[in-house]
Structure 1
């Protein structure tokens, strides 16, 4: 009986610690001397594929400008994949990116690049 009670206590304690949010467990982390604090960066993007056309909206809620590019991989072997031009998404700005394939779209993704302030 005593073994099962102590095991239950340990199990409950482990479950409690594992369920804490990451921020609560990371407060004791020590930063390297001279290391810059982490910077929030990156526009959030949502893409919509309609037939062979792709439309993506990227919104940048952060103070640093984000250079976003739309990349489209087409399904057919003879259809050319495209990498769109880089568009600057400034602070609190939403940009629209478009592209297409001749036939079906296999995949779509957006790349991000930190631009000078």
Structure 2
């Protein structure tokens, strides 16, 4: 009698663990993907560069923004560029001196 209870308990534990793994796996698959291009931005001295790739079937419009560190140095915005499906673009902008912050916006 005890053996069948142990086997039943072990089978129940295995079934519950399997359903938890399956539920987490299906939830990960159902997670919505972002509808914007994936962009990486880096700063070297007074130059900022952004590299964007659009894995989505719809066009994304990206724009690089640069905030300069000096008060007299004007902040710069690159012109917006459309990134089509499976396309890659590179944006660049600069300040006269140091860059405080650089980021990409999506439209």
Q: TM-score, normalised to structure 1's length?
A: 0.64
List structure 1 segments (4+ residues) > 4 angstroms apart after TM superposition.
none
Larger radius of gyration: 2
Give 1:55 deviation, angstroms: 1.1
CA distance in 2, matches of 1:101, 1:90: 29
Greater percentage in helix = 2
Is 1:43 matched up with 2:37? yes
Structure 1: segments with no counterpart, 5+ residues: 1-16, 28-37
CA distance in 1, matches of 2:105, 2:42: 16
Q: How many residues in Structure 1 have an aligned counterpart in Structure 2?
A: 84
Counterpart for residue 65 of structure 2: 71
Q: TM-score, normalised to structure 2's length?
A: 0.69
Cα-Cα RMSD: 2.3
Counterpart for residue 101 of structure 2: 107
CA distance in 1, matches of 2:61, 2:86: 14
CA distance in 2, matches of 1:55, 1:40: 22
Structure 2: segments with no counterpart, 5+ residues: 1-19
